[in-house]
Structure 1
Amino acid sequence: MKQQQHQSLWRWICVRVLTLAIGSVILIALCMWLRFVIQNLWILHHMPPALREEFALLRQQPALNLARFHQIVDERWGISYSDPSIASSDWITVGVLVVIVIPFIVVFGLRSARPLSAQVSRLATAAGAVARGEFSTRAEQIQKAPTELIQLTENFNAMTGQLERYDRELRASHVAMAHELRSPLTAAIGRLQGMIDGVFEPEPQQLNMVMKQLQHLSRLTDELHLLSLADAGQLSLNKSTLDLTELLQERAVWLKPQAEAAGMAIEILPLRPCLYLGDPFRLAQVFTILMENALRYAAEGKRLKVEIRTLLGGQEIIFRDFGPGVPGDFLPGMFERFTRAESSRARHSGGSGLGLSIARAICVAHGGTLRASLPESGGLQLTVFLPAVEF
C-alpha cells in the first residue's frame, strides 16, 4: 500500500493562501472578461451587416473617422460605456463580483484550514486527557494535515504509549516491590517477636535466621537503588582497560563451589585475551548474574558454555545453558523487574527477580544490549553485546 505524502506546514499554508488569492483574482477577471465578450457578441450580432462591416473597419483604424467610431459605440453600447464615473457599469460589475466571491473565499478558506484546525484540536483534546492521567489516549490523525502535524501526532502517540507502558510497569513494580520487601521484613519481625514472647530462645541459630532475612532485605534495597540510578541515567561507570576473558575466568573461579555443588561445568571459549574499555566491577556483576542464573535454573543441563566473539562493532559474550529453558511467551518480559517464569524461575529457587534487570541496565549503561533467545536444541541463550570503544 502506497504511503500518503504530506506537505510541510509552510508549503501547506502557502499553497492554500496562494490558491485562494490567485483563484479569486482569476475568477473575478474571468467573469469580467465573459461579461465583455457576451455583451460584444450580443451587440455585434444585432448590428446590420453593413454597419458591422463599417464598425469592424473603424475598430481597426479609428483615426479614419473618429467621430463616426464614437457615434457607433454610443449608439450601440450606450453613452455610459466610456463614462469614467465610479458609478459606471464596469465598477458596479466588479463590486457585485467581489460580493459574490467573498463567501466562496470564506467557505473554501475555512474548508482548506479544517485539517490544520482539526489536527490541532485532536492533539489538544488528547493532551488534556493525558494531563488527567489517561495515558491510553491517542490523538487521531487527520489525513490531509501538514507533515509537521502528522509527525507531531505520531510522536505524541508514541510518547503516550511509552507513558502508558511506564505507568503499567510502575504500578506492577510497586506491587511486586512491596511484596518482595515485605516477605523478609515480616519473617524477621515474626522471628524477633517470637523470641520476645518466649516462643523461641534467643540463641545463635534464631539470630542467624533473623540476620539472613535482614541481609536479604538489604540486598533488595541495594539492587532497587542501582536500578533507580540506571532508570534516571545516573549509573556511574569507572571505566578502565580490562580483559573480558580474564574477568569471565575470575567469575567462574569465584562460582566454582556453587557450580560443583550443582554438578555444572562452566566452559569459557576461546581462552585468549579480549581487551575492552569498561567498568570491571559492573561487568563482573553482569557475568556473575548470568552465571548464577544458569546455576540456579539450568543445573540439570550440566554445562554452561560461555563464548566470546569479536564483531565489527564490538564484543559479544554468549551464555548458553542446556537446561529446561523458558516458555517462548516469557522472553519479551524476561528482563522486567521481579519477573519469574512459573515453572523454572520460581521464587523458592533463591532469586530476587532483579538480577536480569540489573544485568541489562549495566549493559545499557555501557551502550550495549542484553537479549535472550531459545536455541532449537533446547536450553536458554543470553547474549551480551558491548559496543567497540576507543582506548
Structure 2
Amino acid sequence: MDKLRFGISAKLFCAIFFTCMLVLITMHWGVRLSFEHGFIDYIKRGNEQRLSLMSEALAEQYQQHGNWNFLRNNNRSMFSILRSLEQNPDTNSYLPPHGWRTQFWVVDQRYRVLFGPHARVPQEGIRHSITTANGHVVGWVVGSPPERLTRSADINFDQQQRRTSWLIVGLSTLLAAAVTWLMSRGLLAPVRRLVAGTHQLAAGHFTSRVAVSSNDELGRLAQDFNRLASSLEKNESMRRAFMADISHELRTPLAILRGELEAMQDGVRKLTPEAVSSLLMEVATLTKLVDDLHQLSLSDEGALAYRKSDTDLAALLELVAGNFHARYASHNLTLKLTLPEHAPFFGDPDRLIQLFTNLLENSLRYTDRNGSVSLALYASATGWRLLIDDSAPGVDDAQREQIFERFYRTEGSRNRASGGSGLGLAICRNIVEAHGGVMSADHSDLGGLQIRVDLPYDKL
C-alpha cells in the first residue's frame, strides 16, 4: 500500500493552520493566567482594604465599650458594623463592589474567636491587628487565604470566563481553518495552473498557455512559461518545416539521378559525356546542399572556426566582386561598387569572403536580367556599414521578415538552379553575428531588396 502523500496545498494548509492554532492556544493560556492572577489579586486587595477598615471600626467600638462583651454572641452588632462600612461613602470609594468575597474571623488578644464561621482559623490567612489609641493590640481580624475563590458569584464568574474563552478559541479555530483553506487555494491556484500547463508541455502540447492573474513572482513565472511554450511551439514548427524542406530539396536531384540512371540502364539513353555531365551537375547540387547544411549546423552551434586578424574589408569586397564580374555580365547585370580606399577591420578573412560571396550570389540569382546591383561600404558612427541594393523584383513586408529563414525563397515556383538551397542568408546572418554585427533587410530604392550589414570597429 502506497504511503499517503500530501500535496503542496495540504502542506501549506497544515503549516498556516497549525501556526494559527499555536498562536490561539498561547494567547488563550496567557489570557487565562493573566485573568486568574489579576482577579485573585483584585479580590485580595479588596479584602485587605475591608479587613483594615474592619480592624479600625472594631478598635473604635472596643474603646467605647472597654471590652469585647458587645461582640460576644452578638452577630447583630457585627452586621451593623459591616453595613456601616458599606454605606459610608468615605470608606468605600476605593473598595470593590459590595459583599465580602472571603471568610473572616474576629479574635481577641487570646486568639478566642469572637465572630466568624465555625471552621478553624487559618494560620496563613490575612491578619490585621485591632489596635487601640494607646497602641495596645486587643485582637485581630483574620481573613482566609486569597489563593482560591470562595464566594459562589466569583466562582461562577470564573467558570463563565473559562467557557467564554474556550468558545472563542473554538470559533477562532473554525475561522482560521476556513481562512487558511481559502488562502491556500488562492495562493496555489497559479501554481496548479503552471503544473497542469507543464504536464501538457511535457506531453508535447506546445500550444498550452496559462493565464497570468498577477504581477508578482508567480505572475512573472507564468509569463516566462508562456514565452517558453511559444518558443517551443515555434521551434517545433521550424523543425517540421526544416525536415519537410530538406526532404523536398533532396527529392528533386535524387529523382533526376534515378531517372537518368534508369534510362541508361534500360538503353533509352546512351552513356555519353553529355549524360555524365548532367549526372555530375545533380551530384554537385546535392554536394552543395549537404555542404550548406553542414555549414549552417556549425554556425548555429558556434562551431565554425574563426581565425580573426587585421584585414581590409574594401580589399575583400574588390576581390569577391572581381570574381562575379563575368557572371553578372552574362546575366546583363550591372555591378556598381562604392568603396573607400581602406576599411580596416578585425575579423576572419575567409568567413568574410564567404559572407560577401553569398550576398552577391543571392543578388545574382534573384535580380531580373538587364538590372543593376549596387554595393557600397562606408563608415558609420559605430562601425562599417555595407549596403547591397538590387533592382526588381522586390519583396513585400511579410517576405522581408522571412528571407533569413532556412530554405526560404521569395518565389515558390523558382527551382534550385535559380534559387539555390535557401540557406545562404541564414549562414550569412550567423557569420555577421559571430563578428558582433547586425544584418537586416529593407526595400531598395532600385526597386528590389536592400541587405544591410553593420560591423563594429573593435569587436575582438
Alignment TM-score, normalising by the size of structure 1 = 0.77
Contact 2:382 2:457 (C-alpha < 8 Å) held by counterparts: yes
* Structure 2 counterpart SS, 1:221: helix
2:169 to 84, 98, 108: 98
* 1:190 paired residue number: 259
Contact 1:301 1:324 (C-alpha < 8 Å) held by counterparts: no
Cα displacement (A) at 1:58: 1.3
2:330 matched to 1:255? Answer: no
2-side partners of 1:101 and 1:75: how far apart?
32
Contact 1:368 1:387 (C-alpha < 8 Å) held by counterparts: yes
Percent identity among equivalent residues? 31
C-alpha offsets along residues 20-41 of structure 1, whole Å, 9 cap, x if unaligned?
969x86xx89xx8xxx9xxxxx
* 1:132 paired residue number: 203
* Structure 2 counterpart SS, 1:267: strand
* 2:94 paired residue number: 58
Q: Compared with structure 1, are the counterparts of its residues 240 and 95 closer, same or farther at alpha carbon in structure 2 (3 Å cutoff)?
A: same
2:239 matched to 1:170? Answer: yes
* 1:387 paired residue number: 456
* 1:367 paired residue number: 436
Q: Compared with structure 1, are the counterparts of its residues 99 and 54 closer, same or farther at alpha carbon in structure 2 (3 Å cutoff)?
A: farther
Cα displacement (A) at 1:230: 2.4
Which residues of 2 match residues 1-391 of structure 1 at below 5 A? Answer: 57-58=93-94, 78-80=153-155, 88-143=159-214, 147-300=216-369, 302-342=371-411, 347-375=416-444, 378-390=447-459
Letter in 1 for 2:357: T
* Structure 2 counterpart SS, 1:107: helix
* Structure 2 counterpart SS, 1:318: strand
2-side partners of 1:202 and 1:345: how far apart?
30
Cα displacement (A) at 1:327: 2.2
- Select between 157-166 and 377-386 the one with higher mean Cα deviation: 377-386
2-side partners of 1:55 and 1:364: how far apart?
99
Structure with the largest fraction of helix: 1
* Structure 2 counterpart SS, 1:380: strand
* 2:136 paired residue number: none
2-side partners of 1:311 and 1:54: how far apart?
103
Cα displacement (A) at 1:271: 1.9
Q: Compared with structure 1, are the counterparts of its residues 264 and 56 closer, same or farther at alpha carbon in structure 2 (3 Å cutoff)?
A: farther
Q: Compared with structure 1, are the counterparts of its residues 387 and 187 closer, same or farther at alpha carbon in structure 2 (3 Å cutoff)?
A: same
Cα RMSD (Å) of the superposition?
A: 3.8
Contact 2:367 2:393 (C-alpha < 8 Å) held by counterparts: yes
2-side partners of 1:372 and 1:242: how far apart?
26
Q: Compared with structure 1, are the counterparts of its residues 390 and 384 closer, same or farther at alpha carbon in structure 2 (3 Å cutoff)?
A: closer
Q: Compared with structure 1, are the counterparts of its residues 200 and 133 closer, same or farther at alpha carbon in structure 2 (3 Å cutoff)?
A: same
2-side partners of 1:370 and 1:320: how far apart?
14
Contact 1:340 1:346 (C-alpha < 8 Å) held by counterparts: no
Q: Compared with structure 1, are the counterparts of its residues 376 and 150 closer, same or farther at alpha carbon in structure 2 (3 Å cutoff)?
A: farther
1-side partners of 2:280 and 2:323: how far apart?
24
1-side partners of 2:179 and 2:192: how far apart?
20
2-side partners of 1:291 and 1:55: how far apart?
116
Cα displacement (A) at 1:286: 1.5
Q: Compared with structure 1, are the counterparts of its residues 54 and 336 closer, same or farther at alpha carbon in structure 2 (3 Å cutoff)?
A: farther
Instruction: Tell me the number of residue pairs that the alignment of Structure 1 and Structure 2 aligns.
Output: 349
* 2:44 paired residue number: none
Q: What runs of 5+ residues in structure 2 fail to find an aligned partner?
A: 1-11, 36-85, 103-148
Q: Compared with structure 1, are the counterparts of its residues 129 and 172 closer, same or farther at alpha carbon in structure 2 (3 Å cutoff)?
A: same
Larger Rg belongs to: 2
Cα displacement (A) at 1:69: 7.9
Letter in 1 for 2:307: N
2-side partners of 1:182 and 1:335: how far apart?
23
1-side partners of 2:329 and 2:418: how far apart?
17
2-side partners of 1:201 and 1:99: how far apart?
102
Cα displacement (A) at 1:193: 2.0
Q: What runs of 5+ residues in structure 1 fail to find an aligned partner?
A: 1-12, 37-49
Q: Compared with structure 1, are the counterparts of its residues 55 and 229 closer, same or farther at alpha carbon in structure 2 (3 Å cutoff)?
A: farther
1-side partners of 2:416 and 2:342: how far apart?
37
Contact 2:308 2:346 (C-alpha < 8 Å) held by counterparts: yes
Contact 2:367 2:391 (C-alpha < 8 Å) held by counterparts: yes
1-side partners of 2:152 and 2:286: how far apart?
105
2-side partners of 1:386 and 1:270: how far apart?
15
Q: Compared with structure 1, are the counterparts of its residues 101 and 325 closer, same or farther at alpha carbon in structure 2 (3 Å cutoff)?
A: same
Cα displacement (A) at 1:279: 1.8
Q: Compared with structure 1, are the counterparts of its residues 56 and 371 closer, same or farther at alpha carbon in structure 2 (3 Å cutoff)?
A: farther
* 2:106 paired residue number: none
Cα displacement (A) at 1:305: 1.8
Cα displacement (A) at 1:347: 4.3
1-side partners of 2:315 and 2:152: how far apart?
107
2-side partners of 1:373 and 1:382: how far apart?
7
Cα displacement (A) at 1:257: 0.5
